[in-house]
Structure 1
Amino acid sequence: MAAWLYVRWSAKGTMVVYAALTVGALLVLATVGTDGSRPVLLTTVMLLFVGTAGVIALIGPHTAEIALILSMPGGVRTAAVLVAVPMAVAGVAVAARGTTTPHAVAQPSLGAAATLDVELDDLVRSEAGSARPTTPLPGKGAR
């Protein structure tokens, strides 16, 4: 679909459509969160995949141009600086601020988690014990 739009329309217009689709899906996910209905979440995630796949498909043909720019004198050094500086700033910000958010969700106590683990283990064991094969396995015959 991306290639067809790229040929029939324009590269810029196609990129804008796919970027808008990606941003729209992200905004819906940010608004709805995990509280939305299953069809809404699945549709939104599928649209997010379509949008990002379209952006990736449109960026692919331009990688040769980027490689040419990087092969010029100072090209790799400039690219390294453009990547390294924001990463260093982000690393310093995380180190200074910490990795937890101010509105972190309270985690259940270890006792509650352990109780839930035991209940789930018991449920899995009871379901596994009640499962019986309905047809004999090949070569095993009837029991």
Structure 2
Amino acid sequence: MTPDLESLYPRIGQRLLDVAGEPFARGYARVEMGDDFGSVGLFIDRGDGGFAYLTDDDGDLFELFAALRERCVAAGLGAWSTATFALQGSGQFSIEFGHDDISDLGQGPQRRAAWVRRVLGAEAQVRWAN
């Protein structure tokens, strides 16, 4: 990774903290992004045995991930289509990129359900936003 890319990670983490709004045990940003479309959803574990699903209504997280994707391309790392940004309450974070085919937007709910099973666990209880 380059310093230009790495400079975005703390900004992404801070925005996740800002959207979550209160202390949490761990949080995840699930990203799907193409050249002209994308989505970001947050899953926040407040230590109560479930995950709250949140969205960043301001779009700031989307813009940060779009910038990250652009910088990955500019650095010769290629364009990823999925990302999982994990942030622990302690401030420790990790990011995982994927290159899955996300062109079928109608399959988005199925991809999200598969992500929940893989990352949060098959028994994860998600409280979806209204």
Fold equivalence (TM over 0.5): no
Report 1 or 2 for greater relative contact order, CA contacts < 8 Å, sequence distance ≥ 6.
Answer: 2
TM-score scaled by length of structure 2: 0.25
In proportion to residue count, which structure has more strand? 2
TM-score scaled by length of structure 1: 0.24
In proportion to residue count, which structure has more helix? 1
